[in-house]
Copies of this chain bind each other. A is one copy, B any other.
Amino acid sequence: MPIYSAPVQDIQFVLHDLLEADDSEIPGYEELSREFTAAVLGEAGKLATEVLAPLNTVGDKQGCRLENGTVHTPEGFGEAFEEIRQGGWNGLDLPEEFGGQGLPYLLGTAVGEIMVSANMALNMYQGLTHGAINTLLAHGSNDQKATYLPKMVSLEWTGTMNLTEPHCGTDLGLIRTKAEPRDDGSYAVTGQKIFISAGDHDMAQNVIHLVLAKAPGGGAGTKGISLFLVPKFMVNADGTLGPRNAVNVGKIEEKMGIHGNATCVMDYDGATGYLVGELHKGMRAMFTMMNEARLGVGLQGYAQAEAAWQNARTYARDRLQGRAATGAQNPDGPADPIIVHPDVRRMLLDQKSFVEGARAFTFWGAQLIDRANRKDDAEAEGMISLLTPVIKGFLTDKGFDSTVLAQQVFGGHGYIEEWGMSQFARDARIAMIYEGANGIQALDLVGRKLPQDGGRHMIVFFEMVKTFIKENETDGTLEADFLDPLKKASKDLQAAGMFFMETGMKDPDSALSGSYDFMQLFGHVCLGLMWARMAKAATEALAHGAGDAKFYRTKLATGRYYMARQLPATSMHLARIQSGAGPVMSLDAVSF
């Protein structure tokens, strides 16, 4: 069975050494002392190692089953969910008004990483609920908030998001689910939704569905869409549960992975729904919390990579095959551990340098969200809007690749299910698809986020990189290993942006043909920036004689690996972008 233990030291390094969370001017951050985060992360880690992770393969093997209209989750999931509930984990970063603890989203993100690494399928029941809560917080009426939020924050009830229909996912303007107004102010919701994660299960008393549907009088396309709250069980005025609503699980999908999470076809047959937010403004309501939702999926990408990597590292230290080219390292054994082989190290360091960079990038994003929400900081809001598609797209792509690499370290043992490495890859694969497929993230990045506010946020990003480089050029070691590669990568990114500006006016296909490579290029620059900053933090910690010198030296070596061996990808992406629309658009559809 795969192992997992929470990387508390590394998480704390990012929170405190890099992001200086305990020294931040963001309201709520004053709570984030090193002692406090150590305690919270330690508890989360204990739960993850002892309860959640052991159920990960159970969930994969058993999956969910639909019996008499109810979804049954794998053995042990119910008890584990109860522990999550009892621990108050769901409310960590939710308002105290509704039973939460009101702590920063940054801390919620750090805890989330641990939960997702341990058991992504189980965590999704909670994650979807979180998304639904945030949507209700932003758009629900006071009555709705009072009725639903306390139970959802406490996880007595869970939530879902219903967007996709069989014939449309990305293009939501095509949805057919209808909402007919009734005299009592409620709506009768009718239609079929598919791919509904955590659509039903046996771990909570009620499921609160947020459903996109078309009510009469809206325009065509996405303009006519409204958002409705449809409970599985009706809620009486006193808060107790009434009869079943007319919403049913049509079937559970068979999937490549995340078997422990029920992906449901939901049939609405005149189900009672309540309008959330304004009529015909459903798209806006659903996507308000998009930055957080997408950051959460980006997190899934690297959190699966973290779990897979921990196992690959252990295997590489234990498995004896062959001898080091430079002489036996384990002369008394029958062979050396495979970690002596350069190509095994390459695979391990690709994973390690990605995961640690991705963690920093994601936490930085979470801090920006806190800054935007808790300080009304428009600059932070703009920056996280720009970075969100990169966090989602780049980290899920590379996270998946990283799980595939971890599998590869195991050779044939990585392909059989016994060791659990296949599951990490199969589970991680979904993150590249849902919450907007990665190609859509690239489109969002290049088509909307880049030009947003006159391109201002991209300029701010470049300024930030430039300033960081300028401020630290006096440090010779930092300069050669970190700043020079970052400068080069950032220049590639600027050249790509310039290419879009020059050609995009005349031909939108030119920018769109390079959008995916731009997202990758941008992702590398972001991780390069994170690594340069982490290198600075590690260097300073070493200079101040910090406790665990080995940790900081390892951090520097890992960063050097990323800069030397991953960052050169930027020139390839730039070359692809600069090849323009010609190679992509020249064939007509029938010639493919």
Contact = CB atoms under 8 A, between A and B. Distances in A.
A313 B255 CA distance: 22
A235 interface: no
A459 interface: no
A240 interface: no
Given A321-B171, A339-B589, A417 B512 contact: no
B509 A342 contact: yes
Contacts of A568: 571-572, 575-576
Interface in A408-443: 408, 411-412, 414-418, 422, 425-426, 429-430, 432-434, 437-439, 442-443
Interface string A567-592: 01101100110010111111101011
A417 B255 contact: yes
Q: Which of A345, A442, A443 has the most CB of B within 10 A?
A: A345
Closest 3 CB pairs of A and B: A568-B575, A564-B579, A256-B422
How many copies, total? 2
A164 interface: yes
Given A174-B335, A572-B572, A585 B345 contact: yes
Interface stretch (A10-18, A383-391, A527-535, A553-561): A553-561
A171 B439 contact: no
A7 to B, nearest CB: 12
Contacts of A9: none
Given A352-B592, A591-B550, A412 B515 contact: no
Contact of A584 (B326, B433, B516, B561): B561
B589 A343 contact: no
A49 B163 CA distance: 36
A253 interface: yes
B412 A164 contact: yes
A349 interface: yes
Interface of A: 164, 167-171, 174, 194-195, 253-257, 263, 313, 316-317, 320-322, 325-326, 334-335, 337, 339-349, 352, 400, 404, 407-408, 411-412, 414-418, 422, 425-426, 429-430, 432-434, 437-439, 442-443, 508-509, 512-513, 515-516, 550, 553-554, 557-558, 560-561, 564-565, 568-569, 571-572, 575-576, 579, 581-587, 589, 591-592
Nearest to A438: B408
Contacts of A408: 432-433, 437-439
B564 A342 contact: no
Contacts of A400: 404
Given A170-B322, A586-B557, A579 B565 contact: yes
Nearest to A194: B412
Given A340-B589, A568-B575, A516 B346 contact: yes
B442 A415 contact: no
Contact of A589 (B317, B426, B576, B584): B317
A589 B339 CA distance: 7
Specify which of A322, A326, A343, A557 lies most central, judged by the most chain B CB atoms within 10 Å of its CB.
A343
A417 B256 contact: yes
A255 B423 CA distance: 10
Contact of A426 (B256, B341, B434, B586): B256
Given A579-B565, A584-B345, A584-B561, A169 B412 contact: yes
Contacts of A326: 508-509
A170 B585 contact: no
Contacts of A443: 343
Contact of A515 (B316, B342, B432): B342
Given A256-B425, A326-B508, A346-B513, 10 more contacts: A194-B412, A195-B416, A254-B416, A325-B509, A342-B515, A349-B584, A400-B404, A408-B433, A557-B587, A568-B572
A583 B565 contact: yes
A377 to B, nearest CB: 32
A320 B171 CA distance: 9
Contacts of A564: 576, 579, 582-583
Contacts of A592: 313, 316-317, 339, 348-349, 352
B439 A344 contact: yes
A576 B103 CA distance: 42
A135 to B, nearest CB: 21
Contacts of A339: 589, 592
Contacts of A167: 320
Contacts of A341: 439, 512
24 contacts: A170-B321, A170-B322, A171-B320, A194-B412, A254-B416, A254-B417, A255-B416, A257-B415, A325-B512, A326-B508, A339-B592, A342-B509, A345-B585, A346-B513, A347-B439, A348-B592, A407-B429, A408-B439, A411-B433, A414-B433, A554-B591, A565-B579, A565-B583, A568-B572
